[in-house]
Structure 1
Amino acid sequence: MNHLGDANLRTWTLRFMALLAADTKDQLAWLGERELETKDVVEELELLCRVSEGLTERGVFDPEDLHHLRAIGHRLGEIDAGCRVGLWHNALVADPAWDDIRSFARRFLLNRLGDWRQPLPRPVGPHTNDR
């Protein structure tokens, strides 16, 4: 890793993949009362897939990792606009695309870390404007 931000992007990717690879019940428990919009998750994941190209070029990920991330990006592209509306916890249960994405995330983690079962990232609390 030759760029200072690469380590942070690698960590972000691994944490996001751990969340995506988790069983649906664990994802729903992680979400808890959070009202996370599906479109926001898709946008964040699309960004992750785009930056993974550069990370692979710089040796942070290997070509096999990139293959799995591209598969996720491709599957995301197949989710129509109507399925991007609403809360992510509903989409996780109703849209089979998330099962496919879970499978690709698991393959990514198996390749990168040897096991797809990883600790879920710590949930981030709601943003406030309190100073």
Structure 2
Amino acid sequence: MNHLGDAHLRTWALRLMALLAADTRDQLAWLGERELETADVVEEAELLCRVSEGLVERGVIEPGDLRQLRLIGRRFGEIDAACRVGLWADALTSDPAWDDIRPLAREFLARTLGDWRQPLPRPVRRYTDDR
């Protein structure tokens, strides 16, 4: 890892994994009143998994972490298109895929950082035209 872009990618990957690894109640609390679409979460995670080989090549993540990201990517790929529709808060409580993804993300974080329990990322504020 040798430039700011790589540091940003590592931070992005770790924050996303922290969110995916969190207990359901913590994920729901993080969401609060936000209406985050399930498809957006899935697409973000799939993107990370797709670029993971390049991240390993550049030293952003360790080669041993690639296997775990491939497992996570495979599980996301199995999520039915119908289950990608709607709010993530609803999917977290109704789709068992999230219960399968959680331990995979935890293993990734435990391997990478020594403990899967990480602070959740600060939620991004919704853009409004109000000034």
Name the TM-score class by shorter chain.
over 0.9
1:59 Cα deviation after fit: 1.5
1:1-131 alignment, distance < 5 Å: 1-130=1-130
Aligned length: 131
CA distance in 1, matches of 2:46, 2:128: 26
Q: Note the residue ranges of structure 2 that are not aligned, 5 or more in a row.
A: none
Mapped contact 2:42–2:84 kept (Cα < 8 A): yes
Partner of 1:36, secondary structure, is coil
Mapped contact 2:35–2:87 kept (Cα < 8 A): yes
What do residues 86-127 of structure 1 show as CA deviations (whole Å, max 9, x unaligned)?
000111111111111111100000000000000011111111
CA distance in 2, matches of 1:127, 1:86: 20
Amino acid aligned to 1:26: D
Mapped contact 2:18–2:117 kept (Cα < 8 A): yes
1:23 Cα deviation after fit: 0.3
Q: Normalising by the residue count of structure 1, what TM-score does the alignment of the two structures yield?
A: 0.95
1:2 Cα deviation after fit: 2.7
Identity of aligned residues (%): 77
Runs of 4+, deviation exceeding 3 Å:
none
Q: Note the residue ranges of structure 1 that are not aligned, 5 or more in a row.
A: none
CA distance in 2, matches of 1:127, 1:51: 28
CA distance in 2, matches of 1:91, 1:120: 19
CA distance in 2, matches of 1:22, 1:88: 14
Q: Normalising by the residue count of structure 2, what TM-score does the alignment of the two structures yield?
A: 0.95
Q: CA RMSD in A?
A: 1.1
